[in-house]
Amino acid sequence: METVLRKKVTIVGSGNTGAATAQAMAARGHADVVLIDIVEGLPQGRALDIAQGSPWVPFSTTVRGTNDWADTAGSDVVVITSGVPRKPGMTREDLLGTNAGIVRSVVNNAVQHSPETTFVILANPMDAMCHVALDASGFESPRVVGQGGMLDTGRYRTFIAMETGASVKDVSAWVLGGHTEATMVPIVSNATVGGVPLTQLLPPDRVQAIVDRTKRGGAEIVELIKTGSSVAAPAAALVEMIDAILLDERRLIPCCAMLSGQYGVDGGYVGVPLVLGAGGIREIYEIPLAEQELEEIRAAGDAVKELAAATPQG
């Protein structure tokens, strides 16, 4: 009988977001999943819990928990969720030094066992951690992509649907720029609901309220939960990115990419519309934007380059 080799995804970090991502990926049923963590027993327990749901979901792929990088060998995608999460009052920048060391160590181990992999970065501050991962891996930049735009766009579209009373399925809107409250850019100029411009549906003050809430989308959840941060939305966004790479779906979605002059940014990881498929980023698109939006994206590029320059080197 011919052996069928399934795709393989490694999720680094077995906390709430890592486990939720592993569960969602397992439910898709087309890739084996490895959960890895430095805490003994945690990834094994998470994986066993997910596997025991397989008769009812159902899925026949494997979910494995491990503390040994050798078990991740041959991964097509490595997702980095590990790192210290935000607590109330903390900014993503506060996490810079600690998480840079974690990401650098993770990338070194992953590359050793999966030299052909593609990295998807979630660890905060995400834009700067993409720089760390790129440097540590030695990869070409298309193989290191950040998740920020996907999560923030999900929040933006949700808030637009809530405010207009429309189905979120009919909302088309993007968040570009950085993945911090100061640098993200919810795009108003091309946001539509069922093809109708958002600015035609809502007065300026309500549009601005949505933009402001989107920028604080993560902080709002941290303040409400108090002991953690968002889980379900990041996991949902990650799975869409993973599938785009594994299945070569060539999705045109907002993710964080290294720019080389696009939008006036050179040498910085910034959220932009891009095509994501096998091997990572296939193409980056420059779309028409309002001048103020372009200026804010350029400012996001300057900010992340400054943050990356301040990141402790390994």
pLDDT in tens, 50-88: 999 999 999 999 999 999 999 999 999 999 998 776 566
Numbered ranges of CATH 3.90.110.10 in the chain: 149-310
| Ramachandran bin of 19, using left for φ above 0, alpha for ψ from -120 to 50, beta for the remaining angles | alpha
Where helices occur in the chain by DSSP H, the ranges are: 16-28, 42-51, 96-113, 126-137, 148-164, 198-201, 204-215, 217-225, 232-246, 291-310
% of the chain surpassing 90 pLDDT: 87
Confidence of residue 92 (pLDDT cuts 50, 70, 90): low
As annotated, the active-site residues are 179
Q: Which fold has domain 149-310?
A: L-2-Hydroxyisocaproate Dehydrogenase; Chain A, domain 2 (3.90.110)
Distance from C-alpha of 120 to C-alpha of 103, rounded to nearest angstrom? 12
CA end-to-end span of the chain: 48
pTM confidence score: 0.94
What per-residue confidence (pLDDT) applies to 1? Answer: 43
Find the mean pLDDT for residues 267-284: 98
C-alpha 113 chain-centroid distance: 22
Computed over every residue of the chain, the mean pLDDT equals 94
Distance from C-alpha of 146 to C-alpha of 143, rounded to nearest angstrom? 10
CATH code of domain 7-147: 3.40.50.720
What per-residue confidence (pLDDT) applies to 2? Answer: 46
% of the chain surpassing 70 pLDDT: 95
Numbered ranges of CATH 3.40.50.720 in the chain: 7-147
Find the mean pLDDT for residues 38-47: 98
What per-residue confidence (pLDDT) applies to 85? Answer: 64
Residue type present at position 75: S
Judge whether 273 and 254 are in contact, CB under 8 Å: yes
What per-residue confidence (pLDDT) applies to 265? Answer: 97
